Structure 1
């Protein structure tokens, strides 16, 4: 029997642990400086908990921003919960780390992208990838469309 090291799964675990540690620090100390997060996640993941109107509006994936106002951040080993404001309506969310597709902090040009998996078995999962923020790239204006490139630009979201 041949044994091999499952680097893909190890990388996913490590990068999700990084996200957990960052969120734990934010929970304890708040967001430092200009740091803020764009978190894209699979709204159809079985453990995601969001309001029905949000899952109806974003059937597949959704990007949330943690920046100026968020409340009730709770971080666990499996995921995090937070209340965010949607059009002056606070909504609680629970997002398991396994549902996260991208995690970006544009203030320091840091990003992670996780490949989606069609099966429950992550043993052949490709590793998480660093993504580059490019000032020339423009985000796709359709919220439900799939990304067409590895480059993510967040300039359209900046004020």
Structure 2
């Protein structure tokens, strides 16, 4: 009896589903960005990877949350800007306003406790993990410079100066 190989998901349905559910997060933030703010008792706990590609967090916040952090959008948030692939918001930390900007791909959890609505996402690779992966695939030493006429030429600018 021959073993059958399992089918390969060339459509990558898991990723398509994750992307679609991130669209739910974007739509909820769109509603929160309206002049009236978040409707009713709704409020959002948004957890994200602070070192995911595209995340912009002030250095003091990054030092305090080097891997992941959760922010709450309820009553005190300002300048919420919702874009197709990312959002930014101003929150106060220790009374000081700070702007956080992140792509939806950095979000690992979105929770609205008022209605017990929770979305969880696969965590993205962090910038450090990506750098480590690149370093692992690069040669240990840089290739030697080209020899002969292939290399860059150094030209003295003195020959072009007026005397």
8 Å CA contact retained: 2:108, 2:121:
yes
1:21 positional shift: 0.9
Task: Spell out the pairing of 1:98-117 with structure 2 (5 A cutoff).
Answer: 98-117=105-124
Larger Rg: 1 or 2? 2
Deviates more, 1:79-88 or 1:24-33: 24-33
RMSD of equivalent CA atoms: 1.7
Instruction: Tell me, yes or no, if structure 1 residue 86 matches structure 2 residue 90.
Output: no
Listed as ranges, the gaps of 5+ residues in structure 1 are 121-159
CA displacement 1:25-51 (0-9 Å, x = unmatched): 111241111110110000001210010
Q: Paired residue for 1:17? A: 23
Aligned mate of 2:80, from 73, 82, 102: 73
1:95 positional shift: 1.4
CA displacement 1:1-59 (0-9 Å, x = unmatched): x7743210111110011111111111124111111011000000121001000000100
1:115 positional shift: 1.6
Q: Paired residue for 1:38? A: 45
Deviates more, 1:59-68 or 1:5-14: 5-14
What is the TM-score of this pair, normalised by structure 1? 0.70
Listed as ranges, the gaps of 5+ residues in structure 2 are 1-7, 131-163
What is the TM-score of this pair, normalised by structure 2? 0.68
8 Å CA contact retained: 2:105, 2:124:
no
CA–CA separation in structure 1 for the residues paired with 2:9 and 2:46: 35
CA–CA separation in structure 2 for the residues paired with 1:117 and 1:61: 11
SS in 1 for 2:33: helix
8 Å CA contact retained: 2:107, 2:123:
no
Instruction: Tell me, yes or no, if structure 1 residue 27 matches structure 2 residue 62.
Output: no
Number of positions where the alignment pairs a residue of Structure 1 with one of Structure 2: 119
8 Å CA contact retained: 2:112, 2:118:
yes
